[in-house]
Amino acid sequence: MLKAKKSLGQNWLVNEKIVGEIVAAAKIKRGEMVLEAGPGGGVLTAALLATGAKVIAIEKDNRLQEILQKKFKTEIESGQLKLIHGDVLNFDPILINQSYKIVANLPYYLTGGFIRQFLTARAKPSAMTLMLQKEVAERIVALPAGRQAKNSKESVLSISVKAYGKPRLVKTVKRGNFRPVPKVDSGVVTIEQISANNFKHCDEKKFFQILKSGFGSKRKKLKNNLDLTGQMLATYGDRRAEDLQLTDWLKLCANR
């Protein structure tokens, strides 16, 4: 195995059972298009191809690019796999030109930018299945392990994701299932039913301006963070940003 590059945040998943669970969670059907970010040595890529899906795999590390080209020579020649050398953050999904899903074991440093890029893209994926740092995975679903739903706290990240789709924590993955072994555990998250439907009656840009202002000082009451009047002041003025659900933020946006 190649020596991982710390600069690229490389931690390769080596447990094939977990790879199978990721693919199962993604609900891939034969003939579907899948975008894989950072295929690494191709363990997940092989499992995706085995479903009969068409795969676009984007790899930044030129050393791995050469390995993948040899490993999947047949699939590349048949057109089932398209291998792209580059940075996935520079990839415009409009080029896929059809419905697609994302499945990826993401470097931890890439998570925020990656999720934001594809949820806000003109050509959004229909669903994402992502391996993330456990803490981030739990923040996205706003339901840390062992907590009751009524006690979970929302964040800018969780509300931003829920504005576009329905996130679910599939499972947590111990750090020992990766090489090299990272310092933290991971979590598999799915985001399904991705769309911009929530912004039919609420301007998307205005929504995120209100959301970020509301969380500006998250322990303060919203009347101190937002310019609220009338019914919105009466309903939300004495509440804190972390206690509001997506529906509340959409109401605040629609009434501004």
* Residue whose structure tokens are 């959004």: 124
Check the annotation: does 87 bind a ligand: yes
Check the annotation: does 38 bind a ligand: yes
Check the annotation: does 15 bind a ligand: no
C-alpha 97/C-alpha 74 separation (Å) is 24
Question: How far, in Å, are 13, 19, 190 from residue 24 at the CA level?
Answer: 16, 9, 11
Check the annotation: does 225 bind a ligand: no
Residues with Cβ within 8 Å of residue 23, at least 6 apart in sequence? 44, 47, 48, 51, 103
Tokens coding 219: 């322990």
Distance of CA 133 to the CA centre of its chain: 11
Distance between terminal CA atoms of the chain? 55
Q: Are 57 and 64 in contact (CB under 8 A)?
A: no
Check the annotation: does 113 bind a ligand: no
**Which residues does the annotation place in the binding site for S-adenosyl-L-methionine?**
11, 13, 38, 59, 87, 105
**Which residues does the annotation place in the binding site?**
11, 13, 38, 59, 87, 105
